[in-house]
Structure 1
Amino acid sequence: MKQLILIRHCQAEGQHKDSPLTQSGVNQAHRLAAFLNKQPIKLDRIISSPFMRAIETIKPYADEHHISIEKDHRLQERILSNEPIDDWIDVLETSFSNFDFRLPGGESSNDALKRGLEVLHQALQDEEHEHIAIVTHGNLLTILLSQFEKEFGFINWKMLTTPDVFVIQKEADKYAVEHVW
């Protein structure tokens, strides 16, 4: 039975692509590895955002199980704008209610959704692996989950933790989402 394990990265020092995990985030990454080890499934493939905080989140598990981390730029966090935004929470909320909304130099929810879904669909069609981790960021994770649970949106984004873990399970032509962290 195909399962995708969607993981939001652990606590990081910032939002820049090279921002490392905080010391607390490093501890979270080790707790995440222990949590994943206790699950009835064992990951057999890992695809991650190329951002440092995402890679460092799954690295303890990957190292322990000798699984390579495939970096995929389509899993990087969505850019709301190339300019600073004072009211970014309001802008983000608008982007969840209007998937076509876009600021200059930014990416709409639909743009991010398209690239994220490409990764998920490719993973779901991968016949060699059954349990695939997808490591990404809160904004993109929320947009992706909204495709499996229609009510999933801005309020859910606000409640995400670092890290956070969801399992998408495919049975026949149906998908079930479970929040496991």
Structure 2
Amino acid sequence: MRRLQQNVEAPPKPPTVERDLISQKLAEFRRQLGDRRAQVDLTDPLTKGYNRAAFDFALHSYLDIDDTTNQHLALMLFDIAGMKDNNSRLGVDGGDPLVAAFAGALALTFLRADDFVARYSGDKFAVLVFMAQPADGQVLLARLTDRLDALAREHPLGVRLGCHSCVVIREPAESAENLLRRARAVLVTAKRNRKG
């Protein structure tokens, strides 16, 4: 059974719950996202969820919100493990349902209105989530592992979906570019450690 490769980085930040403020700001973000959707396609055609363009817009909006709260903003990256083998075994078209199933598992794991899930590229996904404590990321990763295990039991060919993952907590006033760069580096390290 494949398990998630878990890496967490978290600078200290006072854990004050400010859900109302976050909810208000996210309501404005969702309105703006709806306006933007009228101008640009923000939907991934395979997963029917958000795509990279939506993620890029969301990342900057979430950073603006994070600057006004005491919550921890986490960027979580996921890279589906074994897609090359699955595509070889099932055919390229056989891999598409696995990507869609993984997106579904993410959507069922990150249920709160302020959780933002997007297909980042190919077999990679990004999630933005506010947490009261950095350790909350481990709870969410454990829930995702349970969902992926359930998918393996339900798949007609017993295909197991695992992934490389990372949880990176934004540092105070950190830019979107630096947060993304750090998360990518942690994900690359997680993949390298799992292979070696």
Instruction: State TM-score, norm by structure 1.
Output: 0.31
Q: Which has the larger radius of gyration?
A: 2
Q: Could you say which structure has the higher helix fraction?
A: 2
